[in-house]
Structure 1
Amino acid sequence: MEFIIWFYQRGVVFYLRRWYFLLASIYHYFSVPVLFATLFSPWRKVVIEERTGYNIQKYFSNLVFNLISRAIGAVMRVLLLISACVLLLLVFMGGAVGLVVWLLLPPLGYSVYTRFQSRPSKLVQKIIASMKLTTDKPIRMVFDNAPGKFVLSRMNLSLDEVVKEANFSFESLGGVKGDSYSQLLEVLVEENTWPDDFFRKRQINKDDLVVAAMWWEQRTNENSYLGDERQNFVGAGIGAELLFGYTPNLSKYSTDMGSPRSYSHRLIGRESELNRMERTLNGGANVMLVGQPGVGKTTVVLAFALKAKVGELGPRLAYKKILELDYNSFLSGTADLNKKKTFMAQILAEAAYSGNTILVIRDIHRLTNPQVEGYDFTDVLEEHIKQEDLKIIAVLSPVDYERFVSQNLRLRKYFEIVEVVPPTKDEAFKILLEAAANWEAKQNIILPIPTLRQILDGSDKYISEIPFPEKALEILDSVVLYKEMQGKRDFMVSIDDVNQVLAEKTGISFARLTEQEKSKLTNIESIIHERLINQEAAVSLIGKSLRGRSVGLKEESRPIGSFLFLGPTGVGKTQTAKVLANIYYGSEANILRFDMAEFGGREGLERLMGSVDNNQPGLLTTAIKNRPASLLLLDEMEKATPSVYNFFLTLLDEGVIT
């Protein structure tokens, strides 16, 4: 009976909306209003616009050519209008007949009904109803279902232990005001259904229960989409496409950024960048997208291209093609600089004349600075950009921008900088969840929330040269491949697997850090005294400082400990450093030792810190970059040049060298 009621109420509405969407899709596909408005427009902008002066013969020749182009355009548009009208009529009549059949045969809608019932909002109502009917452990009803099993598997929990440790009261259900599974769990967590000790023993965050539920809802909503809530049109339609020019060369040497890609993820936390790009292009300027490698510049462009393709960027940018120019392919085809410049001009002219193209040029400094590739196409770019028919999105790093583009005033005045900064840690975790869902779908594996937390925290703490989200995604990919190399299938990735991969990348024994650090810190004085005689006061101060860091009394960005060891030769200064390296990093090999007496004067400072002018990497900066988790031992510090102290000030205070 419930199905019949749903069918003749919600089911009929579903059919009518799908019928309407089909008619609207045909109407948009043929661009019926555009066909009427541009009935006598030229065919694909194929016209001759050159001035003929007093050459009457050429004037009439061009006139005849343009009239023929308009005639061809009119004939094609009339044929398209006839096709659209016939197809709309057939679909309308077929839909009317189908509506009668739909009303007479309710079983046709049962598959739609089951998908509708699988939505999280409907499921939560059933869970609450079943809990009220159960007297023995009603909390079991929360997890003895599809979302509950998903949450338990992603939290490394079992149904029995969750039910056993729960202290449930029906009064807590009064706080459930919504209809989502995540809100149900959020209320249960806030009401302390499980004590804090339950989560502490299992080393999990209680808020991650809600995160896992939201993760399930996101994936389920995508799978249970019925196609009757909203409608997005892909592309401008045939009629609108006839108004745009041909681009034979550009099509050959470009990639459509709006085309589907298997590796693309949903854009998270980049709305401000997209809005600035849209405002800039609408305002007549071009976009200079600047960001560190790995920060997500390509993802921003892909999201912008997708929004343009489905018409979500407003009337001026709707249905524009975002094409990435592959200039390496056509520039490598000839060694003649003039031919390179001529072909570049042809490509840009096609993009400008087409009327629906926005070019994406990666590393634009390679085309505008002779120091990089040996040629400068600034004049070619400027010639087309200043006419405002050509729009460009340039993508490059901050270093390349400052070094090669910021001084190029001829080019820079046409661009507005849109900076892409690394996402926050919370945003990076959402991106990581998206990538994990893709891995689970492809490999049939399970990536629990605590495992993903370890990936996020480990990459944040121990990988400094790559920004979020790239460093977290790299660790995730490496962990999955690490498990695959072991020949396992249908596996669950554990925190130990993450620690193993992090250990390989950083050289740190993560087993020591995570399992034995607390016990060693408790007895650090006795451990040091096993290899060091006396020095009671100094060793006690070292132990107090390190224990303060372990309980969160010091900022994470600062070094674990900074110590100035004073004393004559042989009292144990270096020996103490070796013991600390053994405690924290498992080996004395993790000591970065520098004799500061060898780095006197300006030349020594450049060898130690590096030189931009000479393009010389520094010994100290390179060592810290390659092994950020290590013990830095500066021997004979008093013999160092005084100018080096300013560099170490930021290292000791903020954990970075500037």
Structure 2
Amino acid sequence: DEAFADFLFDMGIQEDTFYGAADWIQYRIDETKRKQRWWARERLGRISPIGRAWAYGEIYELEKYAKDIRTTSQYSSIAARSGYAKEHLNELEELLQKSKDANALLVGEAGVGKMDVVLELFRELTSGTMMPPLADKRLVILDTNQLIAATGNKTKLERTLYAVFTQAVRAGNIILVLENLPVFIRSAQSAGVEITDIMDRYLELPQLHVIATATPGGHHRVLETKARLMQRFGVVHMKDADKESVIRILINVAHEQESEAVSDIVFTYQSLQAIATGAERYLTQNTMPDAALNLLLSVSAHAQQHDIQCIDKETVMEVIQQKTGVPVGDVGDKEKELLVHLEKILHQRVIGQDPAIEAIAGALRNARAGVQDKDKPIGTFLFFGPTGVGKTETTKALA
């Protein structure tokens, strides 16, 4: 409809925003209906059958050092419905269904969502939707820090590790999770224990599955040097989520924030787009989707603190500017005046040096207009010259 298209254009709503918002509404409707279907297999499957656990052995020693997965994953809303999570979850399940060496190593930067994908596996295991041969598996996270601290010496640590792995194998239905395996290996080595030698005899057994996590640095420095250990693991490389996947993740968290907020708040679809884009562009110290999720929580807190009910793009830009000190969003009249006369303003403190001042001002204007490469810094400048020509003063004036 041409008239409707013109209306959307006049309102500043682009095609991807319109379709994205429509998909969001449809997703919310489908989720509401899904939760109402108490007779669905995934709902009934959450009711544990009588005697299911009786078919497997006990793990008394392992349970001493186990911890709840819901306390280890940072954000529980990286849902399997997100293409990002689904892709990695499928890889993980395929590795765990192998007939031999059915173990997986998730490699990714901190905050990329390694444990959140493990949480999605846990949800499938407990919802009754998992198909054989993983249907009756029990996922247990070994608290390696507690284990190292509690044992204290080489002999006790070795004895405890043998007991933990032996009980897990005898139980026959354990998926054991070792968070940050390189750190665990180094900690055990400091106590005089080479846990890779202990683990190796268990990793090939079909009765036990192990999921380990590692950062790329730990994987390269520690694990890749242990060829025999790595033969027991299939590797899943997790990279930053793309923008579309991040927005799908944000949709779930935004719904939680709207439901749990003390005051009434509503996220617009444009605000989620701004969070995904702004986190990637301005909050580069964290990986995605972690950076976007942290920003969304900050925006939610800011809105509740300032009684903002409808969270839009401008609200997000305001929070980003508070966090970074970098002007973002639309250029106001005051800032526009400053950018137009930036050379003149800088020359109030720096005498001469016209080529340098023009290069700096041009880079800043391009950045503020959004036309520079988002994967590169705003500008990289090397001020070269003898003492007293204005190198330091130019830096101060720019700041």
Q: Does TM, normalized by the shorter one, top 0.5? A: yes
Range with bigger deviation, 287-296 or 330-339: 330-339
Which residue of structure 2 lines up, in the alignment, with residue 274 of structure 1? 89
- Deviates further, 220-229 or 430-439: 220-229
SS of 1:238's partner is coil
Identical columns (%): 29
1:273 maps to amino acid:
H
Partner of residue 447 from structure 1, selected from 233, 253, 267: 267
Please, which runs of 5 or more residues in structure 1 have no aligned partner?
1-171, 173-187, 582-587, 589-658
Provide the C-alpha distance between the structure 1 equivalents of 2:190 and 2:47, rounded to a whole number of angstroms.
Answer: 38
- Residues in 2 aligned to 1:546 and 1:449: alpha-carbon distance in whole angstroms: 29
Residue of structure 2 in register with 1:354 after alignment: 171
Q: Do residues 298 (structure 1) and 118 (structure 2) align?
A: no
In the TM superposition, what is the alpha-carbon distance from 1:306 to its structure 2 partner? 1.9
- Deviation for aligned residue 1:434: 1.4
Within 1, Cα distance between the matches of 2:293 and 2:150? 36
Q: TM-score, normalised by structure 2?
A: 0.82
Say whether the 8 Å CA contact 1:365–1:405 is kept in structure 2.
yes
Compute the displacement of 1:463 (Å). 1.8
Which residue of structure 2 aligns with residue 244 of structure 1? 56
1:409 to 192, 204, 227: 227
Q: Distance in 1 between matches of 2:147 and 2:359?
A: 66
Aligned-partner SS, 2:256: helix
Aligned pairs for 1:452-471 within 5 A: 452-471=272-291
**Which has the higher Rg, Structure 1 or Structure 2?**
1
Distance 1:391 1:424, change over 3 A: same
The C-alpha deviation readout for 1:533-574, integer Å capped at 9, x for no partner, is 566666556555554455555322223234566666655555
Instruction: Give 2:62's aligned amino acid.
Output: L
- Picking from 206, 228, 249, the partner of 1:388 is 206
Residue 371 of structure 1 and its aligned partner are, at CA, apart by 4.6
- Please name the residue that 2:255 is paired with: 437
Change (3 A) 1:344 1:194: same
**CA distance in structure 1 between the partners assigned to 2:63 and 2:152 by the alignment:** 22
The TM-score normalised by the length of structure 1 is: 0.52
Deviation string 1:483-536 (CA, Å, 9 cap, x unpaired) is 4455x4x73445555445434433435589666444433333443444455666
| Aligned residues: CA RMSD | 3.4
State the Cα distance separating 1:239 from its structure 2 match: 5.2
2:153–2:191 CA contact under 8 A, matched in 1: no
Deviations 1:159-180 (A, max 9, x none): xxxxxxxxxxxxx3xxxxxxxx
Residues 550-565 of structure 1: matches in 2 within 5 Å? 550-563=368-381
Q: Which residue of 1 aligns with 2:137?
A: 320
Q: Which of 31, 40, 56 in structure 2 is aligned with 1:222?
A: 31
Aligned to 1:253: 65
Q: Which amino acid aligns with 1:383?
A: R
Deviation at 1:432, TM superposition (A): 1.5
Q: Call closer, same or farther: CA 1:437–1:241 in 2, change over 3 Å.
A: same
Match for residue 213 of structure 1?
22
Give the alignment of 1:25-424 within 5 angstroms: 172=1, 192-194=5-7, 196-199=9-12, 205=14, 207-225=16-34, 226-227=36-37, 230-232=40-42, 233-234=45-46, 237-238=49-50, 240-255=52-67, 257=69, 264-265=76-77, 266-267=79-80, 268=82, 269-283=84-98, 284-285=100-101, 286-369=103-186, 370-371=188-189, 375-424=193-242
- Residue pair 2:62, 2:164 contacting (<8 A) in 1 also: yes
- The one-letter amino acid of 1:422's match is D
Q: Could you tell which deviates more after superposition, 360-369 or 423-432?
A: 360-369
Q: 1:270 aligns to what SS in structure 2?
A: helix
Specify whether residues 307 and 228 from structure 1 end up closer, same or farther in structure 2 by C-alpha distance, changes over 3 A only: closer
* Gaps in structure 2 of 5+ consecutive residues: none
User: Match for 1:474: what amino acid?
Assistant: N
Higher RCO (C-alpha under 8 Å, 6+ residues apart): 2
1:224/1:445 Cα in 2 relative to 1: closer, same or farther (>3 Å)?
same
Contact residue 255 and residue 324 of structure 1 kept, 8 A: yes
User: Shift in Å at residue 288 of structure 1?
Assistant: 1.0
Number of matched residues? 387
Give the superposition deviation at 1:256. 5.5
Against the structure 1 CA distance between its residues 235 and 359, is the aligned structure 2 distance closer, same or farther, given a 3 Å change threshold?
A: farther
Preserved contact between residue 265 and residue 303 of structure 2 (Cα < 8 Å): no
Match of 2:300 in 1: 480
Classify 1:335/1:255 alpha carbon distance in 2 versus 1 (closer, same or farther; 3 Å): closer
Cα offset for 1:419? 1.2
The one-letter code of the counterpart of 2:169 is A
Which digits, 9 at most, give the CA deviation of each residue in 1:22-64, with x for residues without a partner? xxxxxxxxxxxxxxxxxxxxxxxxxxxxxxxxxxxxxxxxxxx
Separation of aligned partners in 2, 1:335 and 1:547: 59
Output the amino acid matched with 2:172: G
Distance change >3 Å, CA 243–CA 538, structure 1 → 2: closer
Q: Secondary structure at the match of 1:332?
A: helix
Distance in 2, Cα, partners of 1:339 & 1:445: 53
Q: CA 1:384/1:217 → structure 2, altered by over 3 Å: closer, same or farther? A: same
Distance 2:232 2:355 in 1: 65
Select which of 314, 333, 339 maps to 1:521.
339
